[in-house]
Amino acid sequence: MTKSYLNFKTRINVLTGGILIIWALFIFKLSEIQIINATDNTQGLREEKIEGNRGNIFDINNVSITQNLTFYQIAVRLKELDNKEAFLNDISKCTGVHEAVYSEKMNNRSYVILEKKTRKDCEYLQSKYPKSLDIKKDYKRYYPEHELFGQIVGFTDTDDRGIAGLEYQYEEYLKGKSVNVPFKINGFQERIYDATLKNKDPENGSDIYLTLNKEYQAILREELLKQVEKTSAIGAMGIIINPQDGKILSMVNVPDFNPNLQKDFQGDYKRNRIVSDTIEPGSTFKIVTIASALEQGIDRLDEYNVEGPYDFYGDGSKMIEDHEPYTVLTLEEILAFSSNIGTIKLAQNLGKENIYKKAKELGFGSETGLNIQGEGRIKFRNTKDWTASSMHSVPIGYEIAVTPVHIAMAYASIANGGFLLKPYLIDKVIRNDEKIIQGKRKVKNRVLSQNDSEILRNMLFNTVSIGSGKGASLEGWDVAGKTGTAQKSMDGGYSESKHLSSFVGFFPKDNPQLLALIIIDEPTMINNQFWGSVSAAPVFKSVMKRIINIDSDIKIVSNDKRRDITEKLKKSNQVLIQKNIELVIIPNVKDKSVRDAREILHKIGIKTKVEGYGRVISQFPEAGTKVPKNSICDLEAHI
């Protein structure tokens, strides 16, 4: 072979090799486009489920009660992992979890979830372990107010599904709508971009706005906890509502729980007992008999003999007594001094059908209509099922079981002019900036006339001014309310040492803006703290005093307006005299017994209002004063 031929052959070989390399690259690229990264290959099409964010819950002032915190799911594909030791070291440094914990999870499994929900962001490691490390972003429910709303809002499970409280009840509204997002992978199981795939964003859940006020809630909880400690009680409950529209502004049960750590608390702490538990209302139920009496035309100043003990059956088997002895009380005073004898005698005169009818009208006997699940089952028997003892039990709040919400709404009907309302907790529900639910005032029935409701408000005002509710009085405000003390039912009878002590009240009397019910569960009997007047009424006072100081929307009647009202009353009295109304001269009844003083004044057409008992130590008007017949003489008595 010649030298020229050898040179030519070398060139041919180089050229041929070059052409082969070019063809190989061309074929590789073609296969990558047509096979490996083929976007029209349906075998490489996958879908990924993307969840919408869970909606949040807010108070009436847009304060966040729930939050969605970012969490990460960390998983590993063991078949794609080249260096297990290096990976364990890196992931352990990121999460703070010991390598041994992860190593144990990674035995004999191809795909392992190392962390289901962690706050640690390890996404920076994906560039180092692109095929083996799988990180998915997720959200976990968090409750920034801890115990404050726990029993109402409830909580979610580890999969972010509501399993208690409003989280459970409104799951369909709160949960986001998921979408399946398509994507493609190549022959090497790597994700590839395809502009032809259409993606749809997930839809976030609805936001729920409650009628609750965080500041009210915090104040009520703090004061209840103080009183539980002070009275050695086992618990307490409180609810604050707007009596004009039925909005629930605060609802607290203690002891309570932190929904962020719900597994650490026993089940009883998680229950919203104001809604779920039923109680015998005790003396707060006496308003039923008084309202029925007014409806039957009985005057609030009509007098009744309430000397005790009262032999109910006439055979000495059931003796009724009052906590303090009285002789004669008006209808108004029977309520003010919470006389059991007076209430029971009055109920006997009215008859069980009238008592039952008025109780049903005031909402005792049917569900409240509150939009919260789990309302306790009430017990209120039809009169045909009443026993011989029912007429001395039902009128004073026994043999009936209702929720605290029932009591609050019955008194709200007195406060608002006679309308029984449906209470509500959901102010509005918003989805995609559109209001899909709107809470509003709903009237169930008119249950009291305007006149009777006004009389009852005045009677309840006197109960706080001179009667058992003095502990709830607020300086400068006309508070109306009623105390209650009920023995707890135990083992088929009633405990002598365990009580539910309560106070329900509202203010201002002539334009009520706030109503609250306070219940103390089993306060100590030391220093008479088991009485509602001693344990519950002061909590009402302390709560409302603090709320007044922070809420400028609560208006007080100005002194000028009070003077105008006083002047109008003076003028109306002058008109009575000018119209030749029969006048009588007030006699001197000082040093006489209350009973004798009443009889003397009653004979000349003068009605009485008595504070205290025993002998009269002062009277107003004074002896010798001329007043219209049917006027009232205020008597103060002392033993």
Range in 8-12, 144-148, 370-374, 568-572 with the lowest mean pLDDT: 568-572
Please say whether the beta carbons of 386 and 347 come within 8 A. no
Express as a percent the part of the chain with pLDDT over 70: 87
State the SS3 of 94-161.
HHCCCHHHHHHHCCCCCEEEEEEEECCCCHHHHHCCCCCEEEEEEEEEECCCHHHHHHHHCEECCCCC
Closest to 142 measured CA to CA, from 115, 119, 124: 119
CA dist., res. 395 & res. 381, Å (int): 13
As a whole number of Å, the end-to-end CA separation of the chain is 149
Q: What is the mean pLDDT of residues 217-246?
A: 96
Q: How many CA atoms does the CB half-sphere of 151 hold within 13 Å?
A: 25
Predicted confidence band at 113 (pLDDT cuts at 50, 70, 90)? confident
Torsion of CA 6, 7, 11, 12, to 10 degrees: -30
Predicted confidence band at 1 (pLDDT cuts at 50, 70, 90)? low
Closest to 459 measured CA to CA, from 301, 328, 242: 301
CA dist., res. 625 & res. 619, Å (int): 11
Q: How many C-beta atoms surround the C-beta of residue 50 within 10 A?
A: 16
Q: What is the mean pLDDT of residues 520-534?
A: 92
CA dist., res. 430 & res. 15, Å (int): 73
Beta bridge partners of 322: none
412-442 residue pLDDT tens:
999 999 999 999 999 999 998 889 999 999 9
565-609 residue pLDDT tens:
334 434 434 433 333 457 888 899 988 888 888 889 888 888 888
3-state secondary structure of 26: helix
Q: What is the mean pLDDT of residues 496-503?
A: 93
3-state secondary structure of 423: coil
Q: What phi-psi label fits residue 315: left (phi over 0), alpha (psi between -120 and 50 degrees) or beta? A: alpha
Reading the block at residue 415, the tokens are: 């406060």
Residues in the chain: 639
Q: What is the mean pLDDT of the chain?
A: 85
